[in-house]
Amino acid sequence: MSEKINRDNFEESCSAGLFDAINDFEKKQREIAQDLEELPFEQEHFSAEDIKKVIDIRKQLSSFVKKSEKDSNPEVGLADAIKYLDSLDCWIFKFGTGEVGKTAKTDSVYYVMPNGISLRLKRINMKKGLKYVVEPFMECIVFEKDGKPTEELDIGPNVREFCSQEFNNLQNQDSPAPDEGFTSKVKKYYKDGKLYFAERPNNLFHDHFGDDVNKIYKINI
């Protein structure tokens, strides 16, 4: 009987803890929503030239993927893709994510443009083929440190990326980019001059929460 009582108490305690966590999360969300109503926000605007660059890079990477499918050593395709990306002058950052203090061949590599458009090479998927390594372009990238968002690249924080369905469709089209460009669907709210919250787009294609930044290869500022 005592064993059943203890089990019941344990289950009740777990249920109570779960409800408390849910209530805390919902309370935090309500507080954020109230704050956002009073805070300024920005939406990045990508020019037609920005979009053309994304489409051109996506096409070139697709050619590497197709070529690698016929190659007995897919690592060659990955090396060619990295060499090509490294040769471009459109990036402001290149960094890796994984275990802090220890890098590995399976760590992801990110390339970021000054306008916040990012590209990830998910190298842990290399055994599946290059098509599973080259990720779609994301329209917004931020970092999270101690649960708070920041736009500053540093060793340790997690990566957070967003992409709307509209931006994903745009990067995969073969027609020229629209003359008016594209305004990001991601709203970035600021408080006291610092990033306070990055809001997921309503028509979400992908929301990616990545590993810790563990290596910074390149910064062009």
- Find the domain containing 96 and state its range: 40-219
Please give the model's pTM, rounded to 2 decimal places: 0.84
Classify residue 138 by its DSSP letter.
B
Q: Left, alpha or beta for 98 (phi > 0: left; psi -120 to 50: alpha)?
A: left
Residues 107 and 193 in one domain: yes
Would the pLDDT of 7 be above 90? no
pLDDT at res. 211: 96
Query: What's the rounded Cα separation, in Å, for the pair 130 and 124?
Result: 10
Place of tokens 């979400």: 204
pLDDT band with cut points at 50, 70 and 90 for residue 10: very low
Question: Looking at the 3D structure of the chain, how many domains does it have?
Answer: 2
Judgement on whether residues 30 and 109 belong to the same structural domain of the protein: no
Q: Among 92, 85, 211, 221, which Cα is nearest to 155's?
A: 211
What's the angle, vertex CA 148, arms to CA 143 and CA 149, rounded to 5? 35
**How many angstroms separate the CA atoms of 27 and 33, rounded?**
10
Is 106 in the same domain as 11?
Answer: no
Residue 221's pLDDT band, with cuts at 50, 70 and 90, is: low
Q: Which amino acid is at 149?
A: P
Give the span between the Cα atoms of 151 and 145, in whole angstroms: 10
pLDDT, tens digit, 9 for 90 and up, residues 184-216:
999 999 999 999 999 999 999 999 999 999 999
pLDDT tens digit sequence for 36-50:
888 899 999 999 999
Does 64 share its domain with 168?
A: yes
**Beta-strand runs (E) in 3-61:** 41-42, 45-46
User: Residue 147 above 80 pLDDT?
Assistant: yes
For the cut 90, the answer to whether the pLDDT of residue 114 exceeds it is yes
